[in-house]
Amino acid sequence: GESVGLHLPTLSVQEGDNSIINCAYSNSASDYFIWYKQESGKGPQFIIDIRSNMDKRQGQRVTVLLNKTVKHLSLQIAATQPGDSAVYFCAENIRGQNFVFGPGTRLSVLP
């Protein structure tokens, strides 16, 4: 069945450093992936998405990498800022079905 998970439940990084948040998925049929950021007391906020015909996509300070061979997805945040502190979720989609969210990784930015 579908399964989305994260390697690390918490991640602490120094302000200004780069952050890498990882996500593993088990269903090779998944063809669309998204990353969301959720700050305390708020709903998730869309960050970036990637389709399975791509292996890299860049946004503003963020890059998503997709490795279909090992079913791995990562979110890279450049020059991490205090405002990046949040829980990050990856989610997968199979051919237009509903999105399945992973459990999340908490990112803490240290001053």
Partner 1 sequence: EAGVVQSPRYKIIEKKQPVAFWCNPISGHNTLYWYLQNLGQGPELLIRYENEEAVDDSQLPKDRFSAERLKGVDSTLKIQPAELGDSAVYLCASSLRSQSGEQFFGPGTRLTVL
Q: How far apart are CA 94 and CA 59, in angstroms?
A: 23
Give yes or no for residue 91 binding partner 1 (CB under 8 A): yes
Give yes or no for residue 111 binding partner 1 (CB under 8 A): no
Query: Which one of residues 19, 66, 89, 107 is an interface residue with partner 1 (CB under 8 A)?
Result: 89
First-to-last alpha carbon distance for the chain, in angstroms, is 41
Chain-centroid distance, C-alpha 26: 15
Query: Which one of residues 24, 27, 32, 76 is an interface residue with partner 1 (CB under 8 A)?
Result: 32
Residue placing its CB nearer to partner 1 in the complex, 11 or 102: 102
Q: Which of 100, 103, 104, 85 is nearest to 33 (CA)?
A: 100
Give yes or no for residue 41 binding partner 1 (CB under 8 A): yes
Give yes or no for residue 46 binding partner 1 (CB under 8 A): yes
